[in-house]
Amino acid sequence: GESVGLHLPTLSVQEGDNSIINCAYSNSASDYFIWYKQESGKGPQFIIDIRSNMDKRQGQRVTVLLNKTVKHLSLQIAATQPGDSAVYFCAEADSGTYKYIFGTGTRLKVLA
Amino acid sequence: KAGVTQTPRYLIKTRGQQVTLSCSPISGHRSVSWYQQTPGQGLQFLFEYFSETQRNKGNFPGRFSGRQFSNSRSEMNVSTLELGDSALYLCASSKTLAGGETQYFGPGTRLLVL
């Protein structure tokens, strides 16, 4: 039968503005969280990670926020550039069971 | 340091055939995980190998199998191909078992089954 394509949520942002991509995770036991960026035709690329003993971590132009109370993760991209256009995935991992779970992804479109 | 490499990058097969995909992890990484990515299902975990042993397995039929060699290189095999196996197959490596470690992905092998 015909498969139904995943509907990826899309975030459209003006170049130069800040972007915030959200992710709800499912496993309360997850203690490691990662954001990946995937450009068309390429494999996912690691952006930033955070462990459960932290609630914020900053990288170059990116910040990850973790709210364990509501099982929510967000990725903030400062001064969004055209090269940031891609699909962004969050992943949660449980170091006890060694399992990784990926979110469905959010498509970021940067408008010139 | 070289990244994760996958061969071949593109492959066209017909239904009923079998295929073997190869993955070379980042030097020093001992864990290799395989994922299937399709527009319909997103990124789905196939299996993970560490020290030549399968440590985790996703919900795929037995037609999907894999192995890991002593140099940590890994292969996955799909037998009796079906149209629905058309996908981007990604491998990812990490220093130890994924779960507490960052996984780094290769560029993928795009498989088209006709």
Hey, is the C-beta of B108 within 8 angstroms of any chain A C-beta? yes
Cite the beta strand spans of chain A per DSSP E. 10-14, 19-24, 32-38, 45-51, 56-58, 62-67, 72-77, 86-94, 99-102, 106-111
The whole-number pLDDT of residue B110 equals 97
Residue A77: closest CA among A44, A47, A98 = A47
Nearest to B43 among A4, A98, A102 (CB): A102
Interface of A with B in 43-102 (CB under 8 A): 43-46, 49, 89, 91, 93-102
Over residues A24-72, the pLDDT tens digits come to 998 899 999 999 999 988 999 999 999 999 999 999 999 999 999 999 9
Residue A66: closest CA among A56, A78, A81, A77 = A56
Chain B environment of A91 (Cβ under 8 Å): 103
Over residues A63-107, the pLDDT tens digits come to 999 999 999 999 999 999 999 999 999 999 888 877 788 888 999
Q: What is the token pair recorded at A46?
A: 């690691």
